[in-house]
Amino acid sequence: MSILITRHGQTDWNAEHKVQGKADINLNETGKKQAEETREKLLSENIDLIICSPLNRAKQTANIINHGRNIQIIYDDRISERDFGEFEGKHTEDFDYNGFWSYKRNIKYERAENIRDFFNRIYSFLDDIKKTYPGKNILLVAHGGVSIPVNCYFNGIPQDDNLLSLVLKNCDYTEYEF
């Protein structure tokens, strides 16, 4: 069983270095082109099912990638982006962005989703799809933040706690084997 994960295409907020968690931002023209390029790269991949975040930027990316293939798409809230709470829409330079992504520091926030709660959500999702879809090749269309715990699920949490080094760029993808 293999899991491919791709991050959605670029949005205006990505280009402006603003964090977007639950904000439902659409792809910009660059993001649409990135999704088309990823579609072309994934044409040779045997994909049985697409599981997608319900946020528009991911849905748009999944639909572009799936164009002409007619693969079933299931939307799952568990792979929506981390809730940035009070930091939503802020520039990454305007708060302790590295601290926000520190698994070791495990900072609790007023409204933003705690990192360990976020990891647990993604790990639980991966455990579930492993049981539910044995032998299937699944494409996850999700978010940069989601790509971090997915990587850690398969490879462990880095000793240096540099989780941001694991973030997929817009429309990049990687493959993991269960």
Residues marked active site are found at 8, 81
| Residue whose pair of structure tokens reads 């926030």 in the numeric block | 109
Q: How many CA atoms lie within 13 A of 177 on its CB side?
A: 0
Kindly provide the b/e burial profile for residues 20-35, where b requires at least 16 CB atoms within 10 angstroms of the residue's own CB. bbebebebbebbbebb
Give the Cα separation of 138 and 118 in Å (integer).
21
Q: How many CA atoms lie within 13 A of 108 on its CB side?
A: 0
Q: Which residues partner with 6 through β-bridges?
A: 141, 173
DSSP at 110: S
